[in-house]
Amino acid sequence: MTQSKPDERLDPIAEGIWRFDTHYVRPRHTGCPIVVDSGRAAIFDTGVPGNIDALVAAVESLGIPREAVDWVIVSHAHLDHMAGVGPLMQRLPVAKVAAHPSAAPHVIDPGKLEKGSRAVFGDDFVDRYYAGIEPVAAERVVETEDGDTLTLGTRELQMVYAPGHAWHQQALWDARTATVLAGDAFGVNYPELAGGDGPFAILPTAPPQLSPEAMHETLDRIVALGPERVMPAHFTVIENPREVAGELHRIMDEWLDIALEASSVEDLLERLIAACAADLQRRGREEEAETMRELYYMDLYVNAQGLWHWRRRREERAAEKGGK
């Protein structure tokens, strides 16, 4: 296939790495990396069913025919990242899905994920953004563990186990470009709030698998790889990963204290918004607080639910120990 002009929803990230903007919820909210080497491609996350036609067109605009896509890699089994994997695999004749062993069953049968998303987001949201979810045949799914490598042309892509946000999360390390494709393992930041002082990053603490200890360890593990850049799914590429990791460590500890002090999920949400506004003020950017509230509200709403769930589990474990 002759390479045409790259799709307008693609941005070059590093040698052979592109980001496709899924337009999930809004433009510049969620990206899917595409790695290209020697005329072959791997797609890291898929977005949702509604963006699959555009994703395939974007890959083809890079000169990669559908039969030259070898891998579709699922960072973790949350629908904003992998609801489109079934429809995408129907368009890719030879590709395999790579997923953590705990995520693979949800790729094969996504029904439980859909049910959980309805409980968190409501039926209207799920019907609007996730309609068209399809299962993937088990024989096309490969389970990958920490340290496993996927060959793409002359490039070796290494899986990095990255729990904290979810137990089934994996990041991808490309040593050739010193780039980590992080999914939700390295915070959330949107370009509208990036400034001269770098990205304005927060954590993804969604229910039900939040583990603060594992999240701290994952941040350290990613930094220890020595990346020049980290690409989170949401959304701006981080080019100062050590500094951002330090900020995310601080935020995690602060948010746990906030969760323990809150009187309800609603109170917790408002406290998180206030903490983010205080961080903007500390950085001399207090005039951006309303933009932050608008752009991060959905993330912080889900984060409040996850932190409240973490607190309730903590209290239940303490009660169980006290009763013994």
Shared-domain flag, residues 213 and 323? yes
Q: What is the pLDDT of residue 5?
A: 55
Q: Which residue has the tokens 């990396």?
A: 33
Shared-domain flag, residues 64 and 192? no
Shared-domain flag, residues 30 and 89? yes
Shared-domain flag, residues 188 and 323? yes
Shared-domain flag, residues 151 and 292? yes
- C-alpha 17/C-alpha 229 separation (Å) is 12
Question: For the chain, which ranges sit under pLDDT 50?
Answer: 1-4
- C-alpha 84/C-alpha 79 separation (Å) is 8
Shared-domain flag, residues 121 and 166? no
Q: Which residue has the tokens 């927060």?
A: 202
Please report which helix (H) or strand (E) contains residue 149, including its range: strand 149-152
Shared-domain flag, residues 179 and 79? no
b/e burial code for range 97-118 (CB count within 10 A of at least 16 → b) = bbbbebbbbbbbebeebbebbe
Structure tokens at 31: 């990206």
How many other C-beta atoms lie within 10 A of the C-beta of residue 257? Answer: 11
Shared-domain flag, residues 224 and 262? yes
How many other C-beta atoms lie within 10 A of the C-beta of residue 50? Answer: 18
Shared-domain flag, residues 154 and 235? yes
Q: With contact defined as beta carbons under 8 Å apart, do 75 and 99 qualify?
A: no
Last residue of a domain, one of 143, 174, 203: 143
Tally of domains within the chain: 2
Q: What is the pLDDT of residue 2?
A: 39
Of 151, 147, 158, 225, nearest to 186 by C-alpha is: 225
Last residue of a domain, one of 86, 119, 143: 143
CATH number at residue 1: 3.60.15.10
- C-alpha 125/C-alpha 102 separation (Å) is 25
SS3 category, 302: helix
Q: What is the pLDDT of residue 6?
A: 65
Q: What are the tens digits of pLDDT across the range 158-167?
A: 999 999 999 9
Q: What is the pLDDT of residue 1?
A: 40
Domain interval for residue 71: 1-99+101-143
Shared-domain flag, residues 270 and 158? yes
- C-alpha 35/C-alpha 324 separation (Å) is 53
b/e burial code for range 209-228 (CB count within 10 A of at least 16 → b) = bbbbebbbebbebbbebebe
Q: How many angstroms separate the most distant Cα atoms in the chain?
A: 70
Last residue of a domain, one of 114, 143, 172: 143
Q: What share of the chain is helix, strand, coil (3-state, %, to 5)?
A: 45, 20, 35
Shared-domain flag, residues 163 and 86? no
- C-alpha 240/C-alpha 39 separation (Å) is 31
Q: What is the pLDDT of residue 111?
A: 87
Q: What is the pLDDT of residue 324?
A: 63
Shared-domain flag, residues 160 and 21? no
